[in-house]
Amino acid sequence: MPHPQLKAVLRGLAARSEATGFRALMSLPEPVKRRIAGKPVILDGQVLDTETQFMLRLQELLREPGAETLPIHQGRAAILRQAMLAGGRQPVGEVRELVVPGADGPLPARLYVPRSQASTTAGASSPLLFFVHGGGLMYGDLDSHDAACRFLTERADVRVLAVDYRLAPEHKFPAAVEDCWTAYQWVAENADHLGVDPERIAVGGDSAGGYLSAVVALKAAEAGVPCAYQLLIYPVTNMAEKSGSRRTFGQGFFLTSEFTDLAEEMYFIDEADKRDPLASVAFTEKIPENLAPAYVATAGFDPLRDEGEAWARRLADDGVDVTLRRFPGLIHGFLNVVGVGRSQRAAVAEIAAQLKGALHPSR
């Protein structure tokens, strides 16, 4: 076997071994996890989920570096590796690789079809979630959120179209916004081609993807483009001001202050742009009257918790139909943990059920 092929095989075996070992660790009995995790963590009136604390302890014991401590290309590889370990291989009816228009050229995209629809006729129409991945606007891609998209597809029984927008630092603000808005408009205009009901298209994403989804929903309402629902999972909503939760949970709970600082440094050229509503929806002057209903999920031990909840309250005060759900014992990033453990997977299942109820109202 040629040397490069041998190296690839060995890397594959190592990855499978690591995944097997991680699954085994996450399957340990709860009392064992508690002993390894240490004393319960109680902060801001909340108790950190045992399983989550155990994962953080494993990260510490294994000296797993934070992505923000690595060069950008290595950080991207680390994020992908971590997501694939935590996400596992989730079954789904069908996956199609697509190319959709972006603001500055074509973008890779991926369409997920649930098993219930994989054999339906070409004329059938389904709800669709336009999904925007997180990663601090500098990490993440279609593969880093593949497991989460598969899980949402099957549990919510909707098609999911994920888009791979341009990342910083190669592409600064507002490149990501422009890509997501251009791609979303294309999806709305080509609903029939995608087998999608144009009146049941939602937009959603996690973290930075939640921010971009919130912007897309606002722009859709302003432009009269159909948008039935917005699914905002621990979204970034205010990059100009530091909330209390950013200060309280900025160390020790996966998402660090160093990560968010680096993300903003990579994304912006001008500090003043942080107050642009296209960067921080918290500075939106007027909420459109026809803005889509929103589901906002936050995590109790997440630095982004307070700003996500403040945005939910702002929408509700302006007459938007909003459901706010805090998962008090969880941390940032739980959307990607659907392949191991119970508590984080259960939270994502609850989010999927909300999406299903919104896009399948007759069920």
Residue from 133, 145, 171, 332 carrying the catalytic annotation: 332
Same domain? 58 vs 119: no
Q: What is the CATH number of the domain that holds 284?
A: 3.40.50.1820
Same domain, 120 and 227: yes
Say how many domains are in the chain. Answer: 2
* Predicted confidence band of residue 148 (pLDDT cuts 50, 70, 90): very high
Residue-wise pLDDT tens digits, 112-126: 999 998 866 545 689
Q: Are residues 18 and 117 in the same domain?
A: no
Radius of gyration for the alpha carbons in the chain, expressed in angstroms and rounded: 20
pLDDT-derived band at 9 (thresholds 50, 70, 90) equals: very low
Answer yes or no: is pLDDT of 150 > 50: yes
Give the mean pLDDT of 236-258: 97
The answer to whether residues 66 and 7 belong to one domain is yes
pLDDT of residue 42: 97
302 is catalytic: yes
Choose the catalytic residue: 49, 164, 206, 302.
302
Identify whether residues 71 and 122 lie together within a single domain. Answer: no
15-29, 149-163, 244-258, 318-332: range with lowest mean pLDDT: 15-29
pLDDT score of 363: 64
- The domain boundary, picked from 63, 84, 105, lies at 84
Same domain (yes/no): 246, 288: yes
**Burial group, residue 160, by CB count within 10 angstroms (0-12, 13-18, 19+):** buried
The per-residue pLDDT for 20 is: 83
Name the least confident of 10-24, 170-184, 247-261.
10-24
Same domain for 48 and 121, yes or no, is: no
Among 6-20, 62-76, 230-244, 256-270, the minimum mean pLDDT is found in 6-20
**Contact between residue 90 and residue 75 where contact means Cβ atoms under 8 Å apart:** no
The mean-pLDDT minimum among 15-19, 119-123, 131-135, 268-272 falls in: 119-123
Tell whether 129 and 38 lie within a shared domain.
no
Q: What is the mean pLDDT of the chain?
A: 93
14, 143: one domain: no
pLDDT higher at 334 or 17: 334
Task: Give the pLDDT score at 18.
Answer: 78
Q: What is the pLDDT of residues 181-226, one digit of tens each?
A: 999 999 999 999 999 999 999 999 999 999 999 999 999 999 999 9
One-letter identity of residue 231:
L
Residue 258: alpha-carbon gap to chain centroid: 19
**CA dist., res. 107 & res. 183, Å (int):** 8
Evaluate whether 291 touches 315 at the Cβ level (below 8 Å).
yes
Q: Are residues 144 and 60 in the same domain?
A: no
Give the residue numbers spanning the domain of 164.
91-359
Q: Which of 56, 84, 112 is the last residue of a domain?
A: 84
Specify the pLDDT at position 222.
Answer: 97
318 is catalytic: no
Structure tokens that stand for 271 in this block: 């500090």
> Of the candidates 67, 84, 101, which is a domain's last residue?
84
Active site residue 145: no
Cβ-contact 196, 153 below 8 angstroms: no
Q: Which of the four pLDDT bands, split at 50, 70 and 90, describes residue 1?
A: very low
Same domain, 31 and 138: no
Given pLDDT bands bounded at 50, 70 and 90, which one contains residue 15? low
Categorize the per-residue pLDDT at 27 as very low, low, confident or very high, splitting at 50, 70 and 90: confident
pLDDT at 175 over 60: yes
Q: What is the DSSP letter of 271?
A: G
Average pLDDT over residues 27-52: 94
Catalytic residue among 144, 207, 213, 243: 207
Mean pLDDT within 131-137: 98
- 239 and 164 in a common domain: yes
The pLDDT, as a whole number, for residue 10 is: 41
Question: How confident is the model over 29-52, as a mean pLDDT?
Answer: 95
CB 86 within 8 A of CB 337: yes
